[in-house]
């Protein structure tokens, strides 16, 4: 089948009547130079910045002759500290949490060692390896969650750092708060524990919880958060770390990139826009349930994802699945070895998710997906 573009994918999915409503979005895409495929591959938030952040971005055009690392940054740090109920000395802001992951790799793990679950979000480990670190990758358990006991056992004294991602990317799975808290406190007696909570805002209450409270007690734990997900500001590059004042001072001293004015102003405004944050969160939770239900109905195994994405076993090589989805106008995530026949599919706008469901049904009708296979055999693969 020839590739089709984004509007055609939506029309295919929903019938021609939908096309009129989709036109505005398509025109905006043309102006912005966006790809013709529906981008469900990078766990972005297609709602984009909320109303208050948009106003702040416009205001930032006036302010952008100034460096942002003075009073503007201090205001953002103060707002984050209030939001997280910590002191400003416990907050470091980075150009995305990606910068903070690089700082931790450079300042803590270079020529040292890191323990992490696998597969997980690999940015810190990839950079640490380039800096000469050894990485111990501990397989996820049969439910594709972090294996707390195995991680503990794989972390000898002298380990430079442990990286835990909760919810985990790419599986979206979580450890319950009490189990994760125990693991963090045990490990923090031996090493620095980094907990990446990029997707925490999408967790339904009770499934897990942030570990920020542990940093107030003085444990050697760093929590990372980002404005790229629930706040819809991925392109503006703002994230933050919460930790002990001494750890945070060291992170700040290793700053790689100074913060940018639109990002700092938009993040400060977005933090105060809880109506938008709730909308963003509800949109993800509603469609995560909708898409997961359809995947299961079509015979595909799904991990218990609490992120703004689903992780599904397609029963075919992830690269082939990605190609078939591209033919249907949708870009899904890359391959995550060793789970070679699973695919991470980000949630888009409701209409994007409707198009996704239609594409999955098309593949099912063609007999391409839906063979029932067990999760544990995937983990062993
Ligand atoms: C778990 C996790 N951490 C960190 C990041 C980096 O986010 P950013 O640098 O945009 O804050 C991502 C990006 O997708 C992620 O999935």
Report the nearest-CA residue for atom 3 of ligand 1. Answer: 198
Query: What would the two tokens of residue 302 be?
Result: 């799904």
Least confident range from 30-34, 105-109, 147-151, 181-185: namely 30-34
Q: Which structural domains are found in the chain, ordered by start?
A: 6-47+275-380 (3.90.1150.10), 51-273 (3.40.640.10)
Query: What would the two tokens of residue 162 be?
Result: 């442990």
Instruction: Specify the ligand 1 atom closest to the Cα of 239.
Output: 11
Distance from the alpha carbon of residue 231 to the mean position of ligand 1, in angstroms:
13
For residue 336, what is the DSSP state? B
Distance from the alpha carbon of residue 201 to the mean position of ligand 1, in angstroms:
13
118 close to 140: Cβ distance less than 8 angstroms: yes
Q: pLDDT tens across 134-166, in order?
A: 999 999 999 999 999 999 999 999 999 999 999
Instruction: Specify the ligand 1 atom closest to the Cα of 199.
Output: 1
pLDDT score at 187: 98
Give the whole-angstrom CA distance, residue 314 versus residue 309: 15
pLDDT score at 24: 37
For residue 154, what is the DSSP state? T
Q: Could you tell me if the CB of 238 is within 6 A of ligand 1?
A: no
pLDDT score at 294: 97
Q: pLDDT tens across 176-212, in order?
A: 999 999 999 999 999 999 999 999 999 998 999 999 9
Residue 15, pLDDT > 60, answer no
Q: How many degrees, rounded to 5, is the angle at CA 239 between CA 258 and CA 31?
A: 85
Q: Which residue carries 């945070």 as its tokens?
A: 248
Q: How far is CA 123 from CA 117, 139, 231, in A?
A: 13, 17, 21
Phi, psi angles (nearest 5°) of residue 69: -90, 10
pLDDT score at 5: 54
Distance from the alpha carbon of residue 2 to the mean position of ligand 1, in angstroms:
33
Residue 56's pLDDT band (cuts 50, 70, 90): very high
Least confident range from 20-29, 264-273, 362-371: namely 20-29
Residue 17, pLDDT > 90, answer no
Distance from the alpha carbon of residue 123 to the mean position of ligand 1, in angstroms:
8
Give the whole-angstrom CA distance, residue 264 versus residue 93: 9
For residue 221, what is the DSSP state? E
- Mark residue 370 as left, alpha or beta (left: phi above 0; alpha: psi -120 to 50; beta: remaining): left
Q: Could you tell me if the CB of 226 is within 6 A of ligand 1?
A: yes
Give the whole-angstrom CA distance, residue 326 versus residue 58: 35
Average pLDDT of span 225-233: 98
Q: Which residue carries 């930032």 as its tokens?
A: 60
């Amino acid at each position: 089948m020839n590739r089709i573009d984004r509007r055609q994918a939506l029309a295919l999915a929903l019938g021609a009547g939908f096309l009129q409503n989709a036109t505005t979005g398509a025109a905006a895409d043309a102006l912005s130079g966006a790809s013709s495929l529906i981008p469900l591959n990078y766990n972005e938030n297609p709602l984009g910045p909320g109303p208050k952040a948009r106003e702040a971005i416009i205001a930032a055009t006036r302010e952008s002759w100034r460096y942002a690392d003075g009073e503007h940054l201090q205001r953002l740090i103060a707002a984050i500290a209030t939001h997280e109920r910590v002191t400003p000395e416990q907050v470091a802001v980075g150009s995305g949490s990606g910068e903070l992951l690089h700082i931790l790799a450079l300042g803590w793990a270079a020529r040292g060692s890191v323990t992490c679950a696998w597969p997980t979000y690999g940015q810190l480990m990839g950079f640490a390896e380039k800096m000469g670190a050894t990485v111990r990758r501990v397989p996820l358990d049969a439910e594709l969650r972090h294996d707390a006991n195995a991680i503990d056992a794989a972390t000898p004294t002298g380990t430079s750092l442990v990286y835990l991602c909760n919810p985990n990317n790419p599986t979206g799975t979580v450890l319950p708060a009490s189990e994760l808290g125990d693991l963090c406190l045990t490990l923090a007696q031996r090493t620095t524990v980094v907990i990446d909570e990029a997707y925490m805002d999408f967790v339904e209450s009770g499934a897990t919880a942030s570990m920020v409270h542990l940093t107030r007690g003085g444990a050697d734990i760093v929590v990372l958060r980002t404005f790229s997900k629930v706040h819809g500001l991925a392109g503006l590059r703002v994230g933050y770390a919460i930790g002990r004042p001494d750890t945070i001072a060291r992170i700040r001293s290793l700053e790689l990139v100074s913060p940018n004015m639109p990002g700092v102003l938009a993040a400060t405004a977005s933090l105060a826009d809880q109506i938008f944050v709730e909308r963003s969160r509800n949109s993800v939770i509603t469609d995560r349930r909708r898409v997961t239900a359809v995947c299961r109905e079509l015979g595909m195994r799904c991990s218990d994802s609490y992120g703004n994405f689903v992780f599904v076993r397609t029963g075919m090589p992830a690269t082939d699945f990605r190609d078939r989805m591209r033919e249907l106008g949708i870009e899904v995530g890359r391959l995550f070895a060793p789970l070679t026949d699973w695919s991470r599919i980000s949630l888009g706008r409701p209409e994007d998710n409707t198009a996704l469901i239609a594409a999955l049904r098309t593949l099912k009708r063609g007999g391409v997906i839906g063979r029932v296979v067990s999760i544990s055999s995937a983990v062993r693969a």
